[in-house]
């Protein structure tokens, strides 16, 4: 079973998707859609991986009810369940959703924990159901196989009165299945699928069950049956049906239906001359028709009491030519397709008891490729049309729909132009018919055809003169109407055949070009015309394209004389061609002449000097005297243009190789037509074909993360408005249903007026780099111990939320302080204190919503910000739960020190309208909670202090909004990383950004040198690409250009210095092997810290931090800071190199 770990969230409200995403993203892979149409596209592609769909009901484009209905129709609900999440709580809507197939309904607003548990329950139940279905299907298959064996044995006993008579029933089943499989492939209108084929094949074993009622002396009579005996034998069909009717209690009605039809009708014939009911044509069930052919073939190729086995080839000919009765023409075409398989089965499963079937020696086949039945019929059709040299139109005379199937002459070209046949025929008559009476008659053609059908005529012909532009003369045209399928009175199809006739047809045997004197053209003018047209020649339409006469133009083109061509090439055009092109040209011209009379081909010819000459051949097929066909052709030298084309093709191949190596995808957007096309690797990566017929939004919307669609719209608008370049980052669902980050860089192409008409873009996969950056950013924003937000990022988040809030919205801020925490640390140890903080932090996360801001702002102090608060009662209840959670935290392990907490609470906008005010008021409330004996909460209340109290009221912690709780090294590292992230995200110049970050690192951490070394493409050497040096430190960058790893002791040895985290830490270089010590001591280095650069898992260089003044023992905080800084620099370097690569590719493309 495919792993089902994907949830599709369908909701047009982004907030609802965010809430569900936060609840489920840790356990499932998530796909998102903002309307029903996108949801159906995702379900269609990823249904095997989907565990459940969470579906809103009220949405644009397609609502939830339409999605459920579509999933039902496509049988998707059997693959995964659907949970409806809606605010529509009426009983009518619930009943409707359940009737359409919903597995559960969750009402909005919902509790996230409840959603998670109900989703888990539905998913687990569905997985168990699917597993049980697999087990049941496997057991049913075993039971079916057992039943088949039993049926075969019983059927053999019935037919031959002996179990030992052999393989007849088994062969019938195999023949039936083989023939049905081909019928299903060629004729889908029969509606056959794997299930029906399997059922019919199994039921075919019962075809002669009625023979148990036939006396032995008739059943096994060695000679020909008398008329009376034959009538008795024919009753086995109806007797068998009587037996099957008694088995109705078996319950498998589908199997019994097939068995009944096969048993009763397998001796019926297509022309109505079968038995027992004399059915005709399609009135005979197809299952019985197929079994009838299989039974007939097996009877011919097997020994029977009244005859010896015939060879398969003879049996085939007897069936095809009607010696065993008339069968369906469609089934006979399929029988031709499976001849080899039938012969193999006959040989492999022949009866071992009698003489083996005689097989005639195999004759070599005339055709080397097995054609599809429908295609072969079409080839036959066009071969006949080509021979007839007639223009043929198929049409429906009721609707006027028509198709010009074959165009024999340009004079009938106007027939292709018209909204219906009547309009097209009228245009043809006006432009080409030169008989006024027939022109007038053309306006009544529709009524004439209606009369033709009304009178029941089969054919009708008339003639008139048409003007041939090609021949510059009048030609006689014979127009014939042929009615299609005359046995069907409702059939309105007709074939219209146009043939041009001539009283004095040109004889192909005298197709030599007339002399200049005969056509009255000046010799000089004729020579100029021939030089412009190239080499004109006439050849037979045979396998060699044999020349009827060789003209000097062709000989001159190849550098031969006419005599040399006759002697060396035997007047065969194929012998003058480049050998590798001969078969290709034959196939190409053959395909073209199946559709019309014009051919065109490009091929190479070999000149006398041995040089290759590219030529373009354009020809016209004509019918000569005696029925032979000829091609009148013109050869034009295209060598120069072809060479340029080959050069361009080579450049395109080189360009494609570069793109394939980079795995990037080229996208081309036609702004005029608003269509998008992509390079072939798009479908391979994302599993969705883009055929260049749809707009970018139609192609991409369903697979782009809904939150990123706004970026795609912005890019489109930017390019349309005249911007030359645009770049966005977005998430696209790949072939496995996982969102991957990609970067789209698009350049607009403009016309002479400066208006954009096309955009070419490069889509690069940046998922690894993006997620690495996000992880590093997350690390910089989180507290290392509790994984809550730190004080800096939490303030930024709260300020952003406050700026976006409406005036009527309410929010609240909690400041939470663990009581007596210092005593717990002193009594139980700092490690135990850390565990207490982690446990309490986990409780806070469970108590609040996923979109609430929860932060650790000090050693034992926390802050929570909640928005959308309806009233104070909810806040008080939440505060009580916090205090209760704190009291449960390791209460049995702290002795007399009972864990507790105090909470100060301030409301927005009542107590403060900005972060500073809310923080100060919450802090004052916390002070009051501490003053009241701790283990309580206090809501901020504005109060007046008496002026003569003797003290000035200054809250202990209210004087500043930033609480310094970290020791200096931690603070330094944290602020440095935040500064680096700001630089990376705000800088547009990667090179300057890297230099600035290196300088800040060196200065903040008091380093001597910071540097970056990057590997060469073959990883044999390394180059110092960036370097920062402190005051008084000599630069070494120039000394390390293309520096061989051999001088480091070899690349593998140097890589071994780095630990599993990618760090090489050496407080004292004296500890290193001698060659490393010598190398580093040359740079006056005392201590070194290096971070590896990995590009897609391959070691590609390193980032180093040196101290040249004294040995340094790096603290844990410094090690973490340097590791994080190294990863950030690594991501930036790789991003910069990727940009360089993309820019280089785009530059090469523009130059081409």
Q: Which CATH number fits the domain that encloses residue 282?
A: 1.10.3210.10
* Token pair for 836: 């207490």
- The answer to whether position 357 is within a domain reads no
Q: How many CA atoms lie within 13 A of 151 on its CB side?
A: 23
Of 466, 501, 536, the position where a domain reaches its end is 501
Q: What is the CATH number of the domain that holds 77?
A: 3.40.50.2300
176 and 325 share one domain: yes
* Token pair for 1071: 């500890």
Is the omega angle on the peptide bond into residue 109 within 30 degrees of 0, that is, cis? Answer: yes
- The answer to whether position 646 is within a domain reads no
Across-strand partners of 460? 481
**pLDDT at residue 207, rounded to an integer:** 86
1053 and 957 share one domain: no
Q: What is the CATH number of the domain that holds 938?
A: 3.30.70.270
In whole angstroms, give the CA distance from residue 991 to residue 970.
28
What are the residues whose beta carbons fall under 8 Å from the beta carbon of 39, sequence distance 6 or more? 8, 10, 33, 53, 55, 62, 67
* Token pair for 1029: 């040096």
Using alpha carbons, list the distances in angstroms from residue 669 to 714, 728, 761.
15, 15, 8
- CA angle, 587 then 592 then 596, to 5°: 150
862 and 830 share one domain: yes
- The answer to whether position 472 is within a domain reads yes
Using alpha carbons, list the distances in angstroms from residue 1138 to 662, 1042, 1132.
9, 20, 10
Q: What is the CATH number of the domain that holds 585?
A: 3.30.450.20
Q: How many CA atoms lie within 13 A of 908 on its CB side?
A: 29
The dihedral of CA 518, 523, 529, 532: what is its sign?
positive
**Total count of domains within the chain:** 7
Our CA dihedral for 1131, 1136, 1142, 1147, rounded to 10 degrees, sits at 180
What's the farthest any 2 CA atoms get from each other in the chain?
137
Cβ-based neighbour number of residue 878 at 10 Å: 20
- The answer to whether position 642 is within a domain reads no
* Token pair for 564: 């040399």
**pLDDT at residue 914, rounded to an integer:** 92
Rg (CA), the chain: 43
pLDDT along the chain (1152 residues), means of 10: 84 85 87 91 89 91 91 89 88 89 87 85 87 73 61 55 57 93 91 91 86 82 85 90 75 82 93 91 93 92 79 84 86 88 88 49 42 62 75 81 81 81 85 76 80 72 83 84 66 84 44 38 48 72 84 83 87 90 90 81 90 90 70 87 83 69 81 86 82 76 87 90 91 89 92 89 88 81 88 92 88 94 81 87 88 90 92 92 87 69 94 92 92 92 49 35 40 63 73 88 87 92 92 87 84 86 86 71 80 90 90 77 86 86 80 70
Helices (H), 455-519: 516-519
588 and 515 share one domain: yes
Our CA dihedral for 996, 997, 999, 1003, rounded to 10 degrees, sits at 140
- The answer to whether position 182 is within a domain reads yes
Cβ-based neighbour number of residue 627 at 10 Å: 9
* Token pair for 937: 């909460």
Q: How many residues does this entry show for the chain?
A: 1152
For tokens 């133009």, name the residue: 553
* CA nearest neighbour of 1010 among 1121, 1140, 1136, 1137: 1121
Using alpha carbons, list the distances in angstroms from residue 1092 to 52, 605, 1059, 1138.
42, 59, 9, 18
977 and 1114 share one domain: yes
- The answer to whether position 645 is within a domain reads no
pTM for the model stands at 0.48
319 and 459 share one domain: no
798 and 912 share one domain: yes
1117 contacts 973 by C-beta, under 8 angstroms: yes
Q: What is the CATH number of the domain that holds 1109?
A: 3.30.450.40
Cβ-based neighbour number of residue 212 at 10 Å: 17
30 and 105 share one domain: yes
For tokens 């699917």, name the residue: 130
DSSP secondary structure code for residue 235 in this structure: T
**pLDDT at residue 695, rounded to an integer:** 78
Range of the structural domain that residue 672 is part of: 663-765
What are the residues whose beta carbons fall under 8 Å from the beta carbon of 844, sequence distance 6 or more? 788, 816, 854, 862, 864, 882, 885
Of 501, 524, 547, the position where a domain reaches its end is 501
116 and 178 share one domain: no
757 and 834 share one domain: no
3-state DSSP percent of the chain in helix, strand and coil, to 5: 50, 20, 30
The dihedral of CA 1144, 1146, 1148, 1150: what is its sign?
negative
In whole angstroms, give the CA distance from residue 524 to residue 513.
16
**pLDDT at residue 86, rounded to an integer:** 87
- The secondary structure element, H or E, covering residue 504 is none
672 and 567 share one domain: no
- The secondary structure element, H or E, covering residue 1074 is helix 1074-1081
759 contacts 769 by C-beta, under 8 angstroms: no
* CA nearest neighbour of 532 among 619, 618, 635: 635
For tokens 């139980």, name the residue: 828
| Packed helices 767-781 and 791-804: angle between N→C axes, nearest 10 degrees | 100
304 and 323 share one domain: yes
In whole angstroms, give the CA distance from residue 690 to residue 730.
18
- The answer to whether position 463 is within a domain reads yes
- The answer to whether position 145 is within a domain reads no
Of 917, 948, 965, the position where a domain reaches its end is 965
């Amino acid at each position: 079973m495919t792993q089902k770990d994907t949830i599709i969230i369908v909701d047009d409200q982004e907030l609802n998707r965010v809430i569900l995403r936060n609840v489920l993203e840790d356990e499932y892979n998530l796909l998102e859609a903002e309307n029903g149409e996108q949801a159906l596209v995702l379900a269609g592609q990823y249904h095997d991986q989907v565990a459940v769909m969470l579906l809103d009901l009220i949405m644009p484009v397609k609502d939830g009810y339409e999605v459920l209905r579509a999933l039902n129709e496509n049988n998707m609900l059997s693959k995964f369940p659907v949970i409806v999440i809606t605010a529509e709580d009426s009983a009518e809507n619930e009943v409707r959703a359940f009737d359409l197939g919903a597995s559960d309904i969750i009402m909005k607003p919902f509790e996230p924990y409840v959603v998670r548990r109900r989703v888990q329950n539905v998913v687990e139940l569905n997985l168990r159901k699917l597993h049980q279905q697999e087990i049941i299907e496997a057991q049913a298959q075993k039971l079916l196989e057992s039943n088949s064996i039993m049926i075969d044995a019983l059927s053999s006993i019935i037919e031959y009165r002996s179990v030992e008579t052999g393989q007849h029933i088994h062969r019938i089943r195999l023949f039936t299945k083989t023939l049905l499989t081909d019928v299903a492939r060629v004729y889908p209108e029969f509606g056959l699928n794997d299930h029906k084929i399997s059922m019919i094949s199994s039921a075919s074993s019962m075809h002669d069950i009625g023979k148990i009622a036939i006396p032995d002396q008739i059943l096994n009579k060695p000679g020909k049956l008398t008329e009376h005996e034959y009538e008795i034998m024919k009753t086995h069909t109806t007797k068998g049906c009587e037996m099957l009717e008694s088995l109705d209690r078996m319950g498998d009605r589908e199997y019994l239906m097939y068995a009944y039809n096969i048993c009763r009708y397998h001796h019926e014939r297509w022309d109505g001359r079968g038995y027992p009911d004399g059915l005709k044509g399609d009135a005979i069930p197809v299952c019985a028709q197929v079994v009838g052919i299989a039974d007939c073939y097996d009877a011919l190729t097997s020994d029977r009491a009244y005859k010896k086995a015939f060879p398969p080839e003879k049996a085939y000919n007897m069936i095809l030519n009607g010696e065993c009765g008339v069968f369906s023409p469609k089934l006979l075409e399929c029988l031709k397709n499976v001849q080899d398989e039938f012969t193999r089965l006959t040989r492999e499963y022949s009866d071992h008891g009698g003489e083996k079937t005689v097989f005639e020696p195999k004759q070599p086949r005339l055709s080397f490729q097995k054609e599809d039945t429908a295609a072969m019929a079409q080839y036959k059709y066009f071969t006949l049309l080509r021979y007839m040299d007639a223009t043929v139109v198929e049409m429906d005379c009721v609707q006027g729909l028509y198709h010009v199937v074959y165009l024999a002459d340009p004079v009938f070209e106007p027939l292709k132009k018209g909204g219906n046949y009547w309009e097209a025929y009228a245009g043809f008559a006006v432009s080409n018919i030169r008989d006024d009476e027939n022109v007038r008659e053309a306006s009544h053609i529709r009524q004439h055809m209606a009369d033709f059908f009304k009178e029941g005529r089969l054919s009708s012909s008339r003639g008139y003169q048409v003007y041939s532009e090609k021949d510059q003369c009048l030609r006689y045209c014979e127009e014939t109407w042929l009615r299609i399928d005359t046995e069907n009175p409702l059939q309105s199809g007709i074939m219209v055949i146009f043939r041009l006739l001539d009283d004095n047809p040109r004889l192909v045997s005298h197709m030599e070009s007339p002399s200049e004197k005969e056509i009255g053209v000046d010799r000089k003018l004729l020579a100029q015309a021939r030089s412009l047209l190239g080499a004109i020649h006439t050849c037979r339409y045979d396998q060699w394209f044999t020349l009827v006469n060789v003209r000097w133009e062709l000989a001159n083109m190849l550098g031969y004389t006419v005599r040399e061509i006759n002697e060396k090439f035997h007047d065969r055009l194929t012998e003058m061609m480049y050998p590798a092109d001969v078969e290709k040209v034959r196939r190409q011209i053959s395909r073209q002449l199946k559709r019309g009379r014009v051919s065109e081909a490009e091929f190479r010819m070999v000149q006398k000097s041995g040089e290759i000459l590219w030529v373009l051949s354009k020809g016209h097929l004509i019918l000569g005297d005696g029925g032979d066909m000829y091609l009148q052709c013109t050869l034009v030298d295209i060598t120069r243009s072809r060479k340029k084309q080959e050069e361009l093709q080579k450049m395109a191949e080189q360009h494609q190789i570069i793109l394939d190596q980079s795995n990037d995808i080229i996208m081309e957007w036609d702004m005029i037509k608003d269509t998008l096309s992509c390079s072939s690797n798009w479908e391979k990566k994302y599993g969705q074909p883009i055929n260049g017929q749809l707009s970018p939004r139609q192609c991409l919307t369903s697979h782009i993360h809904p939150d990123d669609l706004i970026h795609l719209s912005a890019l489109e608008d930017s390019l349309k408005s005249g911007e030359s370049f645009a770049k966005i980052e977005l998430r696209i669902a790949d072939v496995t249903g996982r969102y991957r980050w990609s970067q789209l860089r698009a350049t607009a192409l403009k016309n002479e007026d400066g208006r954009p008409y096309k955009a070419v873009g490069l889509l690069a996969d940046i998922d690894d780099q993006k997620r690495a950056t996000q992880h590093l950013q997350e690390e910089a924003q989180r507290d290392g111990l509790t994984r809550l937000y730190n004080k800096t990022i939490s303030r930024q988040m709260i300020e952003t939320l406050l700026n976006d809030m409406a005036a009527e919205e309410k929010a609240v801020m909690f400041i939470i302080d663990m009581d007596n925490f210092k005593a717990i640390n002193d009594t139980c140890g700092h490690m135990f204190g850390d565990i207490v903080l982690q446990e309490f932090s986990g409780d806070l996360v469970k108590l609040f919503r996923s979109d609430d801001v929860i932060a650790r702002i000090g050693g034992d102090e926390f802050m929570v910000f909640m928005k959308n608060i309806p009233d104070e009662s909810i806040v008080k209840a939440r505060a009580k739960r916090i205090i209760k959670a704190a009291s449960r935290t390791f209460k049995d392990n702290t002795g007399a020190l009972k864990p507790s907490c105090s909470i100060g609470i301030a409301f927005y906008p009542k107590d403060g309208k900005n972060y500073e005010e809310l923080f100060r008021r919450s802090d004052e409330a916390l002070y009051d909670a501490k003053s009241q004996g701790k283990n309580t909460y206090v809501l901020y209340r504005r109060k007046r202090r008496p002026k003569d109290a003797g003290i000035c009221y200054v809250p202990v912690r209210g004087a500043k909004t930033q609480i310094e709780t970290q020791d200096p090294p931690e603070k330094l590292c944290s602020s440095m990383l935040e500064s680096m992230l700001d630089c990376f995200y705000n800088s547009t110049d990667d090179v300057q950004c890297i230099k600035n970050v290196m300088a800040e690192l060196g200065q903040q951490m008091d380093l001597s040198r910071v540097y970056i070394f990057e590997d060469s493409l073959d990883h044999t050497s390394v180059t110092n690409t960036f370097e920062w040096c402190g005051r008084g430190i000599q630069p070494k960058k120039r000394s390390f250009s293309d520096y061989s790893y051999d001088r480091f002791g070899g690349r593998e040895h140097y890589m071994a210095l780095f630990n599993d985290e990618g760090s090489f830490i050496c407080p004292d270089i004296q500890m290193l092997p001698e060659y490393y010590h010598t190398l580093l001591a040359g740079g006056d280095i005392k201590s070194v810290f290096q971070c590896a650069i990995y590009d897609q898992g391959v070691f590609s260089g390193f980032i180093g931090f040196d101290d040249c003044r004294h040995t340094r023992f790096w603290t844990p905080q410094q090690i973490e800071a340097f590791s994080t800084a190294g990863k950030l620099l690594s991501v930036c370097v790789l991003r910069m190199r990727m940009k360089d690569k993309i820019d280089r590719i785009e530059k090469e493309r523009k130059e081409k």
